Structure 1
């Protein structure tokens, strides 16, 4: 009995041997902790709320709610439910999971049942299988069950399962990345749309002010206080102010089309309510993942890691393809000329078969396939390292943008206040006849430019806050 157990025990041990690389990893460069802490200084502009960077804080899953707009929250919920890119990524994930399950199923015993009926006429020169030697025309019924089992000695099947499961993990992380990208793009589009609305309002007010000034100058020309050149200069300023509006309006329509696409509807349909720039609050606390946490949580980095694991499994499968392969099979059934007699005494049959195949010569095909798989693994490692480095680049850019946004906001706020005061003084002096047209034109242009810059600075703070949440992986 012990002798009978030994071959099966050896086969079980061999079946547990999986060739190829295991625990595939690669060295990546992490930024120094001191540099990360230096970027975590509070952002405290005089013209806006302070933003505190919290190193090591977890990115909230619903990070967009930190902007304090219920209208924005409703838009994000609609995008997560209806966006086509998310639906595509979700379908790809479901497909990959089913393919992984199918790959695992291929490593299990395969059991098939079959039934066959044949109408036969036998020649007289052959031996008649029937009891009646004069009956040469009969029906033959065959029913059988077949069991086949590939003995996975060197892990070819297990490596294929690992590769398929890694591919499913890639798709899972890509779904998370798609959600992060869609939400971030939607919030950015909403911020840009609100900024454009405010810029259009400022530009419209600038046009109105320039028209009022033109009317004033035309009256003074009629009184002989100024010449036609002054009026022509103001007409030029008015036309310039009017020329600012069309590009802003075109950009506004584009952003509205982007928002429509992100929430899953065609442009031109009625959009739901959109928040104004004043309704969007700057997040007062911003998380900053530690370098190791960022690598573990960012979806594109995790997808690259899973892809690297799958490439390692493909190398193992390519190596196993060059090694012996054992196939076991068995079948049992019955054959009779009557359906009810197939399993009567003497009619059942059974077969046991085992075979081993060792590739000897394939023209170098299997060797080259192994080398190609190894090259793919090297490429996957490089892609993983690139994804890690890009993650830190994105975080660095977002932090730098937030720091400089505070400085830019203060400068734009001071410029807007000063330009508004200057334009008020010059307009009053013009009414009293003590200011020239050139001074008025310069003050009017400076006021319009300062207003646009202030709006853009406010929008930039919001946009770079979104960029940081996205760079940290979106909290999925």
Structure 2
């Protein structure tokens, strides 16, 4: 037996490197090589990339930093993503275990009595068999790489899941930042509406006094009262938006808002890093987890083709055992009790009604689909970065212009109010000035919010949000952790 076993082991060793998986080549990126056409500065040698900038260094507001920290501890979506990594790792362990034989300790014992009328000798007999040993059950000699390719495909699934979890964390950090900024904007909107309501109520009181003394018409009083009721409705909307924005933030951090949070900072004082290094498209491909996850899926489908091709070739499996056997329990370890069995099996596909061919076609189609998905992921990532860069260049100008508009509207309201009090202008012109200022203040608030959200989106689009601090090392692509 030993010669046969040695010959089979030698053949397995010689053919262990055989694999029918296609040679993997990363598809060319279907986008421009850089973001220069979208206003991005040229990369600087030695400059820290956006993916290496820690979220504590990117977000300067201590309250926001604390909220991000809580979300990373408690968010259920992130928890599920991490558990999916554990599940994928376990699945890889199950598949990879098939590459080595499974060795089992075996112990069996039987005892039987045959009655006299069933015995040839016409007398009752008692027999027994006891066996102790080691056994190998149906171990496949992976001569054509089927098992190895299945194991590699399971590994890429695990790596893809790990990258997806990293992408979930990056998205979570951005979502918390956006939700916090929206809450700050809702809070400031509440202040604007409240201040406007107070101003309109004062105007209404003055007009009512004039109306009672015959110096103002009923139409003027009705118009002023309509403005007050409009402001009251706006206040109700602002209160609702403020409550809902807080609820969204509570969901993301996974717990009620703590009472010991640092005080919030207004939007115009948010210290968010404005100059984020953009780099080249190749940097984006290497650092964004969703792109790396799509590439791992592509690699896995490549290995699946190899496994499907191997199904066309013979499959050899070994079953065997070695130990001691005796008819008496006391004789198990006596001289001459050694026992062994060896049962190789070879299966050669002859006719399967096209099943193997269909499985190979399916694997090839899935590989082509994953190529298209990989390229689309790159294109989507490129567009996200390009959109934020194009927007970034315009927000500062928009905010400066809107700030000037607010100052001009405030002066216009002051003059209109003065002229109305002196009877030079009608109430209609005063009402128009109040509306203009209210609209300008809202526009300025929205412009500031959009600028900050755009910076957060740029940070996320470049793969930022994984590291806590810039000093911490950026994670190597999970594909290298092999």
Residue 191 of structure 1: aligned partner: 181
Residue 17 of structure 1: aligned partner: 18
Q: What displacement does 1:275 show?
A: 2.2
Q: Deviations over 1:295-317 (max 9, x none)?
A: 11111111100000001111111
Residue 252 of structure 1: aligned partner: 242
Q: Secondary structure in 2 aligned to 1:106?
A: helix
Aligned partners of 2:463 and 2:119: how far apart in 1? 77
Structure 2 CA distance for partners of 1:122 and 1:289, relative to 1, 3 Å: farther
1:147 aligns with 2:136: yes
- With the length of structure 1 as denominator, give the TM-score of the two structures: 0.90
2:213 counterpart (223, 228, 234): 223
- With the length of structure 2 as denominator, give the TM-score of the two structures: 0.89
Aligned partners of 1:98 and 1:404: how far apart in 2? 49
Residue 36 of structure 2: aligned partner: 36
In terms of mean alpha carbon deviation, does 370-379 or 15-24 score higher? 15-24
In terms of mean alpha carbon deviation, does 396-405 or 5-14 score higher? 5-14
Residue 476 of structure 2: aligned partner: none
Q: Secondary structure in 2 aligned to 1:160?
A: helix
Aligned partners of 1:269 and 1:180: how far apart in 2? 23
1:318 counterpart (308, 311, 328): 308
1:467 counterpart (432, 438, 457): 457
Aligned partners of 1:187 and 1:64: how far apart in 2? 11
Q: What displacement does 1:466 show?
A: 0.2
1:349 aligns with 2:339: yes
Q: Secondary structure in 2 aligned to 1:283?
A: coil
In terms of mean alpha carbon deviation, does 178-187 or 144-153 score higher? 144-153
Whether the aligned pair in 1 keeps the contact of 2:169 and 2:465 (CA below 8 Å) is no
Whether the aligned pair in 2 keeps the contact of 1:65 and 1:73 (CA below 8 Å) is no
Matches within 5 A, 1:50-449: 57-59=48-50, 60-124=52-116, 125-126=118-119, 136-148=125-137, 149-265=139-255, 272=261, 275-278=264-267, 279-449=269-439
Aligned partners of 1:3 and 1:95: how far apart in 2? 40
Q: What displacement does 1:65 show?
A: 3.3
Consecutive unaligned residues in structure 1, runs of 5 or more: 42-51
Aligned partners of 1:274 and 1:116: how far apart in 2? 72
Whether the aligned pair in 2 keeps the contact of 1:174 and 1:300 (CA below 8 Å) is yes
Whether the aligned pair in 2 keeps the contact of 1:63 and 1:469 (CA below 8 Å) is no
Aligned partners of 2:178 and 2:421: how far apart in 1? 44
Whether the aligned pair in 2 keeps the contact of 1:333 and 1:343 (CA below 8 Å) is no
Q: What displacement does 1:135 show?
A: 6.0
Q: What displacement does 1:271 show?
A: 9.0
Aligned partners of 2:4 and 2:366: how far apart in 1? 45
CA RMSD of aligned residues (A): 2.6
Q: What displacement does 1:424 show?
A: 1.3
Whether the aligned pair in 2 keeps the contact of 1:187 and 1:466 (CA below 8 Å) is yes
Q: What displacement does 1:436 show?
A: 1.5
Structure 2 CA distance for partners of 1:71 and 1:270, relative to 1, 3 Å: closer
Structure 2 CA distance for partners of 1:91 and 1:38, relative to 1, 3 Å: closer
Structure 2 CA distance for partners of 1:53 and 1:22, relative to 1, 3 Å: closer
Residue 48 of structure 1: aligned partner: none
Structure 2 CA distance for partners of 1:150 and 1:209, relative to 1, 3 Å: same
Residue 27 of structure 1: aligned partner: 28
